[in-house]
Each structure stands twice: as C-alpha cells, then as structure tokens.
Amino acid sequence: MQEIKITFAEHKKVKPGIDEKLGFGKFYTDHMFIMDYDINENWHNPRIVPYGSLSLDPATICLHYGQQVYEGMKAYMTKNNKILLFRPKKHIERLNISNERLCIPKLDEKFCVDAIKKLVNIDKDWTPTKPGTALYIRPFILATDPYIGVRPGEKFRFIVICSPVSSYYSAGLGALKIYVEEDYVRAVKGGVGFAKTAGNYAASLKAQNKAASMGYDQVIWLDAIEKRYVEEVGTMNVFFVIDNEIITPELQDSILSGITRLSCISLLRSWGEKISERRISINEIHEAYLNGRLKEAFGTGTAAVVSPIGLLRWRENIMKINGEKPGPIAKKLYDVLTGIQFGQIEDTFSWTLEIDACC
Ligand code: COI
C-alpha cells in the first residue's frame, strides 16, 4: 500500500459560523487529496495538500472532451463527536463503474476509502453538527494530458475535496415542484446516463433553466425514445406511491444507480413494504392521480437525501400530491436514513464507517 504524504495548510481558512447558512457547495475545507496516474507508474504519488487551485495546460483533454467522472458522498458528526462515513465503499465501487465507461483506469477501492478517511479526519472540525447538515465529499477524476484530438487520456488526476453543506434544495424537507420535460432528454440506452460524469449534468442545464423560468424546482426526465417512461428527477432517483405499491424505475444504462435509492429500497423491504423496481409511465402516474391513487412522490440522492415532491406538471396537467406536503413514507425514510447516518438509530445494515482517531 502506498504511503500518503501529508502537507498541512499553514493558514487555516475561517470556517462558517454555527448559525451561518451553509447552503450547498459554498465552502471548502483546508485540505484536499490528490493522486496521479500515468501508464508507466499506474496510480501514484498519493498526497494530502492544502486546498488550492489546479494548474492545467489549456489543451488538457478533460477541458475539451469531458473525460471526467465524479462521486458524492457524505460524512456525519454524531452526538458523541464521532464521524461516520455513509457507504464509502459503495461510492468508490460506483466510481470504478463510471471509470470503466469513460475509459479511466480503475482505482484500488480500499486504498481510496482509507485516503478519504485520512482526509476527513484531518479536516474533521469542518463537519457541521446541525440536523440536516453533513460534510459533502467530492472525489473526481480528470484526464490531464494536453492533447487536441478525441482519444482517451493517458494521464489522470484523482482529487477529493470536502464541503460542509446543508440541504441541496432550498425547500429542505418541504415539497418540490417538478416539471415533466418532453422536449429535452438526459440520457439514452447505450449512452453514459448510469455514469457520474460531468456531461450528463451539462446536458441537463437547458431543461433545468426552462423549468426554473416557469417556477419549477427540477424536471422529471422521461426515456429518450418513447418519451413515456419516467427515468430520474433532476439530480435524484424517483419513487411514486400508488395505492400500497412503492414504485421506482428499474435501473438501466440511462439511469444512475443511486446509493440513497438502494438504501431506501433496503429500508422499505425491511419494513415489509411492497416495493417494485419497474417501468412506470407518466400516463400511469397521471391516471393514478386522477383516480386518487397517487399518494406520494419523492426523490432520493446523496445531496438531496429524501426530497418530497408536492406538485408535478405534465403538459397542461397539474398534479398536486398529498396536499403538496411531505408524505408519511418520505418522512419515515428521511428520519430513519438520517438517524442511521447520524448514529442515532442502530445501523443494522453496516452502512456507516466510523473514522477512528488513528487515521
Ligand atoms: C449527489 O447527489 O451527490 C450529486 O452528485 C448530485 C449533485 C448535483 C450535487
């Protein structure tokens, strides 16, 4: 196992105050992890250094052709001042799945989890303590060789930065207003929709702007071929409760395999709920709404946690769900999931990993 060289920041930044609004992605901690790859040395030179700018050649491949992948995971401060990472191994496994699709060399999963533990331990005082907050951890990889031409990079840089955050959506646990998008699509079979790569998010901006200009928080993405089957909501996976069935679109290569999605499915199964991973069309949702059978809708994601959906607009149809209030299933999932993440509810699934002092 390679040794991680540590250079501490000489000047620490001013941390946000306990009552300061953290928002999402506004503040960054004092240090970052970096590791390089080239064909001869494989992944090498792992180091933790003061947080700072990157110097890249203007011809760097990732800047022109988007060869990039990323992850998003969180660390939580418990009442006893312990720090828990939530499912870090699953996140790095998924990073490697994205790597494979984007022609980026595989990472050693155990080494990366250990590196993240070390980084978070060094910057642990940045972990916010208020309910609904966390230290968001952003590992990402860039192709760094300068080359104007489309081919996979031969040099890469793996970087991890951390940011204290509160809720991603300003609605918090309030209910989101969502626009069902039929002009633009996010991903298509055979594409990169299942990978966490920048291009998927760049492709979503136009529809997101359109929805925002009409007063909606996010869009529902439909399948790119028939524009009929629901895939995701903005930056989240999505669930619908119709009668007593909880439905989430089954995974395919145009849908991100969310780790919060997976955790919610496990929780729902353990509670004996009827949970189906299957195709669900927007017509089925609308029909259930008209018949009074659409009880709840909510999104799930690392950043978004569990975010209730209060209103859906599909063409001229406005569907107000559960009186535009968070429903009982979304609330229970939010409470139990965050209870496990903050160490307040026993973690019978072994999802959390404590950062011990030795890191
Ligand atoms: C996450 O949920 O971690 C994401 O990567 C979504 C991003 C838009 C913050």
Q: Ligand 1: residues whose CB is within 6 Å?
A: 72, 235, 301-303
What is the reported pLDDT for 167? 83
Q: Which residue has the tokens 């309030």?
A: 174
Please tell me the distance from the alpha carbon of residue 128 to that of residue 18, in angstroms, as a whole number: 8
For the chain, give the percent of residues with pLDDT over 70. Answer: 98
Return the CATH number of 176-341, one of 3.40.720.10, 3.40.50.10490, 3.20.10.10, 3.40.50.300.
3.20.10.10
For the chain, give every residue range classified as CATH 3.20.10.10: 176-341
* Closest residue CA from atom 9 of ligand 1: 303
Mutation to probe ligand 1, out of 232, 302, 341 (largest number of atoms < 8 A from CB): 302
Residue 25's region, left for phi above 0, alpha for psi from -120 to 50, else beta, is left
Read off the pTM.
Answer: 0.96
For the CA of 24, the closest atom of ligand 1 is 9
Structure tokens, 134: 């966390």
CATH code for residues 5-166: 3.30.470.10
Q: What digits encode the pLDDT tens for the residues 251-307?
A: 999 999 999 999 999 999 999 999 999 999 999 999 999 999 999 999 999 999 999
For the CA of 72, the closest atom of ligand 1 is 3
Strand partners, 180: 220
For the chain, give every residue range classified as CATH 3.30.470.10: 5-166
What is the reported pLDDT for 171? 62
Please tell me the distance from the alpha carbon of residue 183 to that of residue 164, in angstroms, as a whole number: 36
Please tell me the distance from the alpha carbon of residue 338 to that of residue 174, in angstroms, as a whole number: 16
What is the reported pLDDT for 173? 64
Q: What is the pLDDT along the chain (359 residues), one digit of tens a residue?
A: 799 999 999 999 999 987 788 999 999 999 999 999 999 999 999 999 999 999 999 999 999 999 999 999 999 999 999 999 999 999 999 999 999 999 999 999 999 999 999 999 999 999 999 989 999 999 999 999 999 999 999 999 999 999 999 988 776 667 999 999 999 999 999 999 999 999 999 999 999 999 999 999 999 999 999 999 999 998 899 999 999 999 999 999 999 999 999 999 999 999 999 999 999 999 999 999 999 999 999 999 999 999 999 999 999 999 999 999 999 999 999 999 999 999 999 999 999 999 986 55
- The SS3 of residue 198 is helix
Residue 333 phi, psi (nearest 5): -60, -45
Is 29:21 a contact under the CB 8 Å cutoff? no
The number of angstroms, rounded, from the C-alpha of 239 to the middle of its chain's C-alpha atoms is: 16
Is 196:256 a contact under the CB 8 Å cutoff? yes
Strands 305-314 and 176-181: parallel
254, 352, 234: which is closest to 303 by C-alpha? Answer: 234
Please tell me the distance from the alpha carbon of residue 17 to that of residue 35, in angstroms, as a whole number: 32
For the CA of 301, the closest atom of ligand 1 is 2
